[in-house]
Chain A
Amino acid sequence: MLFNSYEFIFLFLPLSFFVYFFLLEKRLVVGAKGFLVFTSLFFYSWWNVAYLPIILSSMLFNYVIGNSLNDNFKKVLIRKKHLLVFGIILNLSLLGYFKYTDFFLENFNLAFDGSVPLLHLALPLAISFFTFQQIAYLVDSYRGETAEYDFLNYSLFVTFFPQLIAGPIVHHSEMMPQFASKWNLVKNYKNIATGLFIFSLGLFKKVVIADTFAQWATAGFDNATVLNFFEAWITSLSYTFQLYFDFSGYTDMAIGAALLFNIKLPINFNSPYKALDIQDFWRRWHITLSRFLKDYIYIPLGGNRKGSFRTYTNLLATFMLGGIWHGAGWTFVFWGFLHGMALVVHRFWKALGFTMPKVLAWFITFNFINIAWVFFRAKEWEDALKVLDGMSGFDKVVLPNVLSSKMSFLSQYGVEFGNFIDAIHGDTTTILWLLFGFVLIGGFKNSIQEMSAFKMSLKTVLFSGVIFVIGILSSNKVSEFLYFNF
């Protein structure tokens, strides 16, 4: 079930909301929470019920291990460190088995000229997210930073449907107290209004903006071999905008849906394309993932405490792992490597004390991110290289026919005139949308800022109601969110 589908918006979400608060009104707190866990598991099983035992057993296993690691649980027969290592290895094995087995086999076959058949396993939905979430829980239990949670609240922490599929990657310390708080057990109309506001905004971002850019990005990557200079740039920029509006739209919808239940999810985006350097970008993009990578990989590796060289290698390792977390492919690893390298260069640059004008800093940062996304999006190396070839190839410049009379002298330099954005199925609206995209990312408040400034007024209700209506009536095709694949 997708957040932007009719069944979620008009059936699942309202039914879950009304039954949950009905049970709470009848003072059936355990029943209400149990119901929310049940609906969340139903939501999860909607795609494929075969995935259900995986998430259930993972949840049960981690709860038992986590409680065993917790100081409150005294009767532990083995050393806590061994238990933690066992817990982490089992979590990573589960993730590795489903997500990386074929990748490993493919590379093994390639390296040793082998013919081990691939398993073609279906990737259980959200496995990357709930595995990370629970590893964090185990580590914190080992550190003695978790309280003794009851299983119901723990289940809700893992399965709560707004964040289950694609984050934000929540931390037990920010969720458990909310699930336990009595203040959150009564309907809060301010939260409901704010939730509807941010949900509408997210729906609009996904359905109207991201899905519009998706058509040019998809066509461009499908026709990577034939792209001219402008087509290649429009392809990459369309994907850059699509990914942001898709994922941040999804996150807004998750935050909005959670608010209906009085649960505040952490923010995940803060105008990332306004970043002036790569470090700034990672403080603004997928914030909860960056937080996880920093707290549970970068810092345990030594962070910046062991000299410059170790800092650089730690950064590279962290980002390459972040890359492969997104998908089992060398393009993802390379994307992570590029970002890791950029962070290394940035640190070096900063250490030298250099500065540069803000406009130039933004320009370089944005273009680096845009180019790196090409590897992130491409199915194969060749596709990425072909798009990049088009982006750098001044030998394949085609200008619109209308310019042919005024700029015919350019023909002698190999410039052609014709339908210059044919291969991406573009037209004049494509250019307008790209300009609109730049205005949106650079000139407007992001949705979290909008939410913080939210006031109950005729203006906000009209704005929210109208974009919700447009969002619903624009979902010609209910398209998946990009981060569902990771």
Chain B
Amino acid sequence: MHSIKWIKIWFCIIMLIPLLGLFNYVIDPYGFNKMILMKNINLIKEDNTGYTIKYKMPNLRNGNWDNIMLGTSRIGLMDTKVVNKYLGGKTFTMSQPGSAIPIQYDSFLYAIKFNNVKNVVYGIDFMSFNKNIKLNNDYVQFKEELQSFGRFYTFDMYFNIGKVKKSIDTILNNSSNHSRYGAMYSENGERHFYQYKQRLREGTFDLQRSIDKHIKWYFSKVGNYYNYEYSSKYMQQFKRIVDYCNNNSIKLYVYIPPMYSKHFYAIKESGLKDEFEQFKKDLAKITDYIDFTGVNSITNNRNNYWDSSHLRKEHTELIMAKLFRSQNTYKHEDFGILITEDNVEDHLKSQSHQYKKINLKKILTTDYKRR
């Protein structure tokens, strides 16, 4: 074969790159552009919560958000409409699943850079203060861009062989008689557990298994509590957010999200009670907050949860009413205690009586096979 012919054929083959890119763009498996939506083809998208930064930052950068919700996926599930109702304006959920404080700090800076933020609602988690927590993959990948307030491009979401497979999966899933749903972000950053809702509708959702499986994950070798070392450096970083808000007339509302009581017990069982209390004490030195953890009428009812830590969206009202000091807390007076530097010790003392013994070892050694 002549060299020129070889080169021509080579260039013909690499035309596959734009063709496959176009295919991915049209099918748009993760719902990044939603330009062409076709029933039975690509209406139902794949789980896009692994692309938090790529998905959320361009929306956040567009501006026009008045309120920002910060924290982990526990606040990510909360209904922004409820927050809008109390605070007015438009709310964006800048939550990052299982994130450490440095990630939340950088996200906060990114949010205020491009928005005239008036309120910050912060669902702060104990696990985020673990010095040894694994940083989210997409944060590690895009840290520099995030810290330099750069743009986030999505073209590599299309020119990608893995996404070709996802595009095909999307088509197959949409054309199937039994389409499956995944967790998804919406444009305002809110997280939706469509997969749980689907299973609940179909009667195949095993809540107890979901709770135990999540506890196992959290406390396993790859989980967020593993090798826990409380970081006061992270607390200082959180303080910088508080100081910034105070100095710039941004109202800050802080709360510790309500975990299911068994998850609360597991913290003590794994030997982290002291660190958990230290976290709450240090937090109280910096700001007042509402503590929704512990055992109360909401956290003791597993049906309020999707797993061991994610409160269902329909209970957003209970959280926000308490947080914004509304009288509208119905009968759940015991849910959420206002903590200040003055009452934190008493609060911890009374909470320490709430712990119960659970067989954490059994949960950790059970094999929760995929279903």
Contacts and interface: CB of A to CB of B under 8 A. Distances in A.
B319 to A, nearest CB: 33
Interface in B316-369: 365, 367
A473 B20 contact: yes
Interface residues of B, number: 31
B10 A461 contact: yes
Contacts of B301: none
B3 A456 contact: yes
6 contacts: A189-B3, A457-B6, A458-B9, A465-B14, A469-B14, A477-B141
A432 B90 CA distance: 49
A193 B8 CA distance: 10
B222 A422 contact: yes
B160 interface: yes
Given A189-B7, A469-B17, A475-B160, 6 more contacts: A222-B134, A419-B221, A422-B221, A456-B5, A468-B14, A469-B20
A192 B7 contact: yes
B362 to A, nearest CB: 13
Interface string A463-482: 01110111011111100000
A466 B20 contact: no
A460 interface: yes
A475 B159 CA distance: 8
A457 B367 contact: no
Contacts of B164: 473
Nearest to B161: A473
Contacts of A423: 221-222
Contacts of B6: 193, 456-457, 460-461
A473 B226 CA distance: 35
Contact of B16 (A193, A469, A477): A469
B161 A456 contact: no
Contacts of A466: 13
B371 interface: no
A384 B150 CA distance: 35
Interface in B1-53: 1-7, 9-10, 12-14, 16-17, 20
A16 interface: no
Contacts of A468: 10, 13-14
Nearest to A192: B7
B161 A474 contact: yes
A408 interface: no
A458 B1 contact: yes
B271 interface: no
A60 B122 CA distance: 57
Q: Tell me whether chain A's interface is mostly helix, strand or loop, or mixed.
A: helix
B297 interface: no
A473 B7 contact: no
A474 B13 contact: no
A474 B14 contact: no
A479 to B, nearest CB: 9
A6 B16 CA distance: 15
B156 interface: yes
B14 A470 contact: no
Contact of A462 (B13, B134, B226): B13
Contact of B3 (A192, A422, A464, A465): A192
A476 B24 CA distance: 14
Contact of B156 (A192, A422, A475): A475
A226 interface: yes
Given A460-B6, A472-B159, A473-B160, A465 B13 contact: yes
Nearest to B153: A6
B367 A401 contact: yes
Interface of B: 1-7, 9-10, 12-14, 16-17, 20, 134, 141, 155-156, 159-162, 164, 220-222, 226-227, 365, 367
A343 interface: no
Contacts of B220: 419, 422
A445 interface: no
What are the 5 A-B residue pairs with the smallest beta carbon separation, nearest first? A465-B13, A189-B3, A473-B161, A456-B1, A456-B6
Q: Tell me whether chain B's interface is mostly helix, strand or loop, or mixed.
A: helix
B141 A473 contact: no
A310 interface: no
A357 to B, nearest CB: 40
Contacts of B5: 456
A189 B9 CA distance: 13
Contact of B7 (A196, A223, A425): A196
A477 B50 CA distance: 14
A226 B220 CA distance: 11
Contact of B162 (A223, A425, A456, A474): A474
A458 B6 CA distance: 8
Nearest to A402: B367
Contact of A189 (B4, B12, B16, B134): B4
B13 A456 contact: no
Contacts of B20: 469, 473
A190 interface: yes
B10 A476 contact: no
B304 to A, nearest CB: 30
Contacts of B13: 461-462, 465-466, 468-469
Nearest to B5: A456
A468 B7 CA distance: 13
B365 A418 contact: yes
Contact of B161 (A193, A196, A222, A470): A470
A193 B14 CA distance: 14
A401 B10 CA distance: 47
A58 interface: no
A396 to B, nearest CB: 12
A225 interface: yes
The listed residue with most A CB atoms (<10 A of its CB), out of B6, B10, B13, B17, is B6
Nearest to B21: A473
Nearest to A470: B161
A476 B16 contact: no
B8 to A, nearest CB: 9
A456 B17 contact: no
A470 B13 CA distance: 11
A203 to B, nearest CB: 11
A94 B276 CA distance: 50
Contacts of A192: 3, 7
Contacts of B141: 477
Contact of A476 (B3, B162, B367): B162
A450 to B, nearest CB: 15
Interface in A195-230: 196, 222-223, 225-226
B9 A226 contact: no
Contacts of A476: 156, 160, 162
A437 to B, nearest CB: 20
Interface in A243-301: none
A465 B367 CA distance: 44
A468 B16 CA distance: 10
Interface in A392-426: 401, 418-419, 422-423, 425
Nearest to B135: A222
A225 B20 CA distance: 42
Contacts of A6: 155-156, 159
Contacts of A196: 7, 10
A401 to B, nearest CB: 5
